Structure 1
Amino acid sequence: MVLAGLFFVGMTATVKLVGAGVPAAQSAFLRFALGLPFAVPMLWPLWRRGLSAGEARLFAARGAVHTLGVLLWFFAMTRIPLAEVTAMNYLNPIYVTLGACLFLGERWEARRLIAVAAALLGALVILRPGLRAVEPGHVAMLGASLFLAAGYLVAKRLSGQVPAAVVVGMLSATVTLGLLPFAWAVWVPVGPVEIGWFFATACFATGGHYAMTRAFAIAPAGATQPATFLQLLWSVLLGAAAFGEPVDAWVIAGGAIIMAAVSFISWREAVARRMMAAEG
């Protein structure tokens, strides 16, 4: 999980590095298009078995919401500091927890409500509305977290129907297609240096998702979640060293509150599953 965090921070940093000179939609498209070579082999089981109509609708829905989330995330990346993007990205699991109760029929447990409330408090600490200006990048990041969380909920539904590799591969394919018209509308010429950086972004993203998947396979979620807080520390250090961004103690505090909420809910869910297994 530590390695996954390093990969994800590297991905975010490369996007920020070239983001100022390339429109957000084009940056997002190039990142996913250059990652397709990693995704195509994952689709082999799908080519052999085919897709049902219901699965096709779910893949299309996930591609649509993830496309919107990615567009907003890339926009935010060029507008607000690296640490703020990382800290607000921690809201994704909280939105997933909330959405699972609202749309997937999971129970409203007190522990979930406490975690959601704590995470929202952390977001307010980061944004501090009324005490400073809330930038368009902050609003975009809140929207990105919502759309990406919706995509994760659809992925959860798909994970019981098709292999995990197919879910990942189809995400890359559908989001690349979804981003194409947005990128085409704002396309600017890019050189081999920019292409190289976007390919590095795709490599970082693929490596991060693989390392995270391996972590989830060999350790309980509650044990791996605290390690993700290191992403925020690395983002603060990298933002200050590479981009001259000031170190904001409020962002660190808000991120810590959100991460504590995520770790708490992950640990309590793991305990609840063990108790149910023991009773069964």
Structure 2
Amino acid sequence: MTSPHDQQRPVIGMFWMFAAGLSFVGMNALVKMLGTNMNPIQAAFLRYAFGLVFLLPAIGAIVETPLTRRNLTLFGLRGVIHAIAVMLWFFAMTRIPLAEVTAMNYMTPIYVTAGAALFLGEKLAFRRIAAIGIAVIGVLIVLRPGFREIMPGHLAMLGTALALGGSYLLAKVMVRDIRPLAVVTHLSIWVTIVLIPFAIAVWEPPSLRDLGVLFVIASFATAGHYFMTLALHAAPVAVTQPVTFLQLIWATLVGTLVFHESVDIWVIAGGTLILAAVSFITWREAVLNRSGAISPTPPQGAEVPSAAR
């Protein structure tokens, strides 16, 4: 929940979300630049291993978190699910255009909304059901099954969004008893641990260039999450969420200018529908929170839809 003072700073919140979007698109472009030089699983592991450097300021939150059997189970389960999402995401980045990855990644909050109703007992009103339906139509527009070939990268992105949805549902459960900062930092640690055996299985000595690119990727990811946190602190999620649509525009431009990918109007249209549905759900939740119609939950927007990065 944001304070009244925070809600009076929408421009600042939108600026930080804009900066977060640029960081994430820059990171995506670098992942795609790696191409097939490195196995996606190895690249995912190194990205998270480098990212551990940026957790040093949060060491206090890590140490203070009690490692009870319940906490260890939740940390481990979320680490496995999120690691699967990360591996699928890195694979998809090297197989399909940037704009399609970005558009399909918007489905994660939709999965979270549906999953919260199915597994956490949250109410799913008709308006939210309609929004989910619109998002599904958006995905069908992006994929256009029957009108073009569905690539393995598309299936990987569907799996990525679904796995991320499961990860965030676990986070919603965990933040009831654990500090949000600890939840986020432990995620990076456990994802790195889970990825170790997979990375060993496909390991090949990386070049210094690839290591440098992966470190910059980790830096962009950290900066993006930090900027997003600042955005959510400055303004309500309902204000900052629509700004994430710019990521689709930047991804399309980078894909066209840097990687010579064709501009697909259907991807833009489908991505717009998906994001419109996400923004509506976000706005409705903000309205209900202000009216007291539902009990507030700690905001997860700092991680959605980009934590796989």
With normalisation by structure 2, the TM-score equals 0.88
Counterpart position of 1:243: 259
| 1:160-206 Cα deviation digits (max 9, x unpaired) | 22222211111111001111111111112211111110001101111
Question: Do residues 91 (structure 1) and 110 (structure 2) align?
Answer: no
Counterpart position of 1:54: 70
1:155 to 157, 171, 174: 171
Counterpart position of 2:117: 101
| 1:244-273 Cα deviation digits (max 9, x unpaired) | 100100000000000100111111110111
Counterpart position of 2:97: 81
* 4+ aligned runs moved over 3 Å, structure 1: none
What letter corresponds to residue 209 of structure 1 in structure 2? H
Q: Which moved more, 1:46-55 or 1:87-96?
A: 46-55
Question: Do residues 252 (structure 1) and 263 (structure 2) align?
Answer: no
2:152 to 124, 136, 142: 136
Aligned pairs for 1:195-214 (under 5 A) are 195-214=211-230
Question: Do residues 219 (structure 1) and 231 (structure 2) align?
Answer: no
Counterpart position of 2:22: 6
Q: Separation in 1 of the partners of 2:59 and 2:111?
A: 28
- Partner-residue secondary structure (3-state), 1:243: coil
Counterpart position of 2:133: 117
Please provide the CA RMSD for this pair. 1.4
Aligned sequence identity (%): 53
Tell me if structure 2 keeps the 8 A contact 1:91–1:145. Answer: yes
What letter corresponds to residue 192 of structure 2 in structure 1? T
Tell me if structure 1 keeps the 8 A contact 2:65–2:178. Answer: no
1:170 to 186, 190, 196: 186
Q: Separation in 2 of the partners of 1:49 and 1:105?
A: 27
| 1:51-102 Cα deviation digits (max 9, x unpaired) | 2221111111110100001111111111000100000000000001011101
2:282 to 266, 274, 279: 266
Counterpart position of 2:13: none
Counterpart position of 2:202: 186
- Partner-residue secondary structure (3-state), 1:20: coil
Q: Separation in 1 of the partners of 2:56 and 2:188?
A: 9
| 1:106-163 Cα deviation digits (max 9, x unpaired) | 0121121011101000000000000000001000100010001111111111122222
Tell me if structure 2 keeps the 8 A contact 1:222–1:267. Answer: yes
5+ residue gaps, structure 2, are 1-16, 295-309
Tell me if structure 2 keeps the 8 A contact 1:39–1:168. Answer: no
Deviation at residue 48 of structure 1 after TM alignment: 3.4
Q: Which moved more, 1:109-118 or 1:124-133?
A: 109-118
Tell me if structure 1 keeps the 8 A contact 2:62–2:185. Answer: no
More helix by share: 1
Q: Separation in 2 of the partners of 1:211 and 1:220?
A: 14
Q: Separation in 2 of the partners of 1:120 and 1:49?
A: 38
Deviation at residue 277 of structure 1 after TM alignment: 6.9
5+ residue gaps, structure 1, are none
Deviation at residue 216 of structure 1 after TM alignment: 1.2
Q: Separation in 1 of the partners of 2:65 and 2:107?
A: 36
Q: Which moved more, 1:181-190 or 1:23-32?
A: 181-190
Tell me if structure 2 keeps the 8 A contact 1:124–1:254. Answer: yes
What letter corresponds to residue 93 of structure 2 in structure 1? M
Q: Separation in 1 of the partners of 2:226 and 2:197?
A: 29
Q: Separation in 1 of the partners of 2:171 and 2:71?
A: 11
Counterpart position of 2:246: 230
